[in-house]
Structure 1
């Protein structure tokens, strides 16, 4: 009977392989692979740059369109404003004239009520011969009752010198009178001629043109 050996047979991994490609070729292949990778990276970079550039260009174009629209709107408004210049000039002239009239007519006085008040204060037998009254200035402060608005002389005839004292008191009691004084001027043709000097506050101004420039 034949005996078999207990030692296992050596298992071989296969036929040996040897890379016979020259080293220069291997390096050339590696350089080609690396070159392709760089080409792809460069292409991707260029693509990103192109996309970003296109987006920036689009945003710039949109901004330029908005700027052009605003410039056109501004030009239109300036044109309209230039067209309104004659109107503004006329309005400014009207305002100036109104201001001038307000200042010029600021001392406008309602004469009839003033003379009527003086007439009611006259005693019997004493009459107006005339008057020499002139307006004061424009209001300088805040209280029209503290500034002179009308002053001058009342020329009276008739009566008696003894009538002057009660007459002066009556005139001083009239509304708006700041001061009153008087004396006998002359005696002619059997009649006394008197002078009463008066000063009234600015409540005698009508105010008809006051504040027109504010409108």
Structure 2
């Protein structure tokens, strides 16, 4: 015969019994309130994070707008400066074109008085220049020798009370500086006055070069 001893729960001395008297509905209500509070906290945190993100984005947008405005102002300033420089550049280009045109048009500018005086100084004694018709030649070529091309040519009229040695006179003229050619074109005599028309050509050293284009 087996005898089984059953252990009875022993209530500790000095303690009160704990009894959960909350009904299930109250427990469910409290659980729902706890969950609601948790979700509320999550919602508030999400709203706060969203507000921070939106605020940061707004601040970045404002900073970007300010920076863009500054860059646009700087760009406009640069464009204005370029426009002003463009006007100056156009003016300089126009000036250069005008100088080039003047240089081309006045390349054959002549020193008439020295040229005529040069011819007169190599005529025989007693011969006087009474007129001349001289024209400028081609424009000088940059870098070329001015004594190798014709710069002035035409006729010179001289008079003398006595006949002159034409061979010696024209030889003396040809040996003068800047003179390329000197030949008799015509001779007339009337009332004791001899009139000679000489065909003369001088080189380009008689050009003044005053309107040469600056390099």
Determine if the TM-score, normalized by the shorter chain, exceeds 0.5. yes
2:187 paired with 1:194: no
In structure 1, how many angstroms separate the alpha carbons of the residues matched to 2:77 and 2:11?
A: 88
| 1:123 lines up with 2:124 in the alignment | yes
The offset of 1:186, in angstroms, is: 3.5
- Cα deviation for residue 117 of structure 1 reads 1.2
Q: Provide the residue aligned with 2:62 in structure 1.
A: 58
Higher alpha-carbon deviation: 193-202 or 21-30: 21-30
Maintained 8 Å contact 1:179/1:200:
yes
Alignment of 1:161-200 (within 5 A): 163-200=165-202
| Corresponding residue for residue 155 of structure 1 | 157
Q: Report what 1:206 is aligned to.
A: 208
Distance in 2 between residues matched to 1:172 and 1:90, nearest whole Å: 48
Work out whether residues 108 and 140 of structure 2, in 8 Å CA contact, stay in contact via their aligned partners in 1: no
Distance in 2, Cα, partners of 1:192 & 1:107: 33
Which piece of structure 1 moves more, 103-112 or 54-63?
A: 103-112
Pick closer, same or farther for the CA change 1:176–1:109 going to 2, 3 Å. same
The two structures have a TM-score, normalised by structure 1, of: 0.62
* Aligned equivalent of 2:112: 111
Q: Pick closer, same or farther for the CA change 1:151–1:30 going to 2, 3 Å.
A: same
**CA RMSD between the two structures:** 4.6
Match for residue 6 of structure 2?
none
Structure 2 vs 1, CA of residues 52 and 135 (structure 1 numbering), >3 Å: closer, same or farther? same
Distance in 2 separating the partners of 1:72 and 1:157: 76
Partner Cα separation in structure 2 for residue 173 and residue 22 of structure 1: 143
Report the Cα offset of residue 187 of structure 1. 4.1
SS of aligned partner of 1:199: strand
* Shift, 1:56, TM fit: 1.4
Structure 1 gaps, min length 5: 1-11
Deviation at 1:157, TM superposition (A): 3.1
Structure 2 residues not aligned, in runs of 5+:
1-9
Closer, same or farther in 2 for the Cα pair 1:62/1:184, shift >3 Å? closer
